[in-house]
Each structure stands twice: as structure tokens, then as C-alpha cells.
Amino acid sequence: MTAPLAVRDLKKHYGGVQALRGVSLDIEAGEVLGLVGDNGAGKSTLLKVLCGATFASSGEVLLDGQPARFANPAAAQDAGVATVYQDLALAGQRDVVANFFLGREKLAGNWLARRAGWLDSKAMAAHTVSELARLRTRIPDVHLASRDLSGGQRQALAIARAVAWTSKVLLLDEPTSALGVEQQQQVLDLIRRVSGEGIAVLLISHQMPDVLRVCDRAVVLRLGLVAATLSGADLTSENLIGYITGAMEGREQ
């Protein structure tokens, strides 16, 4: 079966700096693939290429086996690749429903109301409640301003919103950073539910326990290259740290 998202020999340079030096990987449907590495390893650059925020210098991105070149993140999302960044891109003063439909607002059915630009608030609220329930995301009131939600609830809202508008791939950038233990577990449970729907998930994280708890495989980037791809019994904290630091250099898997 063709992987929903793959990269082949991806390279990216900024002047004389080689951020990516030939990265190849696949993200399978229904899989959570961890992406780990030290600062400067190339994780952020790879994410930017995958989500359309920048172009690779060479190599290719494959979507369902076909070459893809996203002009911008909106084009990537339209193609089925959604990204949730650390800053979440939520409008703090607006409620959960408004954030869920941000940029995709549903106009009222009546032609006169549509012409006036009125929104179908009732339908939007019902759809938001339905989607949050489907993913078992616990938010007590969809009319609360997002700034009044807990950190875990805001992260869950951002993930649920991304999943609602995509069908193939979800890219997550440090989704549990700055969260408490209980909130971290809620987000990890949500990630597993998302992958259970057949969506391919790429999880970028510095949190080794999170990677071990939720990922099926993990790719270690070091100095712009894939140092190792670990799964099963090889996916351990010791191995991850060893490849990240270079202590296991020369034992690529």
C-alpha cells in the first residue's frame, strides 16, 4: 500500500548551511511516526517543507505516491495535509465554534441572510459539538472563549479542527510542550484516536516518554540526515538518546 506521505532524498540549504542533507521517510496510514533530534537536526525545516511553508532545494515530497509541491500551508491543507504548530493559531477572544470554523465559516441558508454575510451559527455549533464528540475531546462549553480553556483543551481543539478539515496526514509540532501530566495524556490519547481513523500522524517532540507511549516508529534526525528509524523492541529511550547525541553513530538502523 502506498504511504499517504513520503519524502525522497530531501535536501534544503540556506546559503552555505545544509539544513537537510538527503532525508527519506514514509508515514503510513494509521501510524504515529515520531520525529526526534537535537536543536538544529533539521526537524523544523522538514516540517516547513512538508506543510508548504518553504520549498526543498532538491528531492521530492510524495502524496499518495504522486509528487506534490505545496505553494503554501493552505494548499497543503486543501490536499489533505494539516499542521498544528506549538502556538496553535487560535483566536483567544473568540469561542470554540469560531475557532473550529476559522477561515471556513458557514453562511446562513437564507439567500438574503447570506447576502448580508450572516453565519449559520446553529449549524456551526452543532458540527463542532459532533466533531469533538467523535474524537472524545472534552470541552465543557463550545461557546467559551478559547483563552478560557486549559492548555490541554486548547491543544485538543487545534488538533480536532485540523482533523475535521483533512483526510490524510496530520503534522504535530511539540503538541505536549508546556502541558501538565494529565493534559499531556489527554492529548496523547487524542493522537491515538486520530491515527485509529486511518490518518497518518507525524509527531515532532522533544519528550521521549511521549514518543515511547504513542509512536509506532520513530525517525531520528541528526545534522540533517536520518540517523536511525526505530520500532518495536529497538524503540527505547536509550536508543533514541544515543542516536540523537551521536553516541551510536555508525549503527544506523
Q: Which of 85-94, 165-174, 178-187 tops mean pLDDT?
A: 165-174
Q: What is the pLDDT of residues 181-221, one digit of tens each?
A: 888 888 899 999 999 999 999 999 999 999 999 999 999 99
pTM of the predicted structure, to 2 decimals? 0.89
- Residue 140 dihedral angles phi and psi, to the nearest 5°: -65, -30
Q: What is the pLDDT of residues 222-232, one digit of tens each?
A: 999 999 999 99
Secondary structure E strands in the chain: 5-14, 17-27, 32-36, 58-63, 66-68, 81-84, 169-173, 200-204, 217-222, 225-231
Contact 136, 187 (CB under 8 A): no
- Report d(CA 192, CA 210) in Å as an integer: 12
For the domain covering 5-92+150-245, report its CATH number.
3.40.50.300
Question: HSE-up of 9 (CA within 13 Å, CB side)?
Answer: 2
Domain boundaries, the chain: 5-92+150-245
> Please, which pLDDT band fits residue 140 given cuts at 50, 70 and 90?
confident
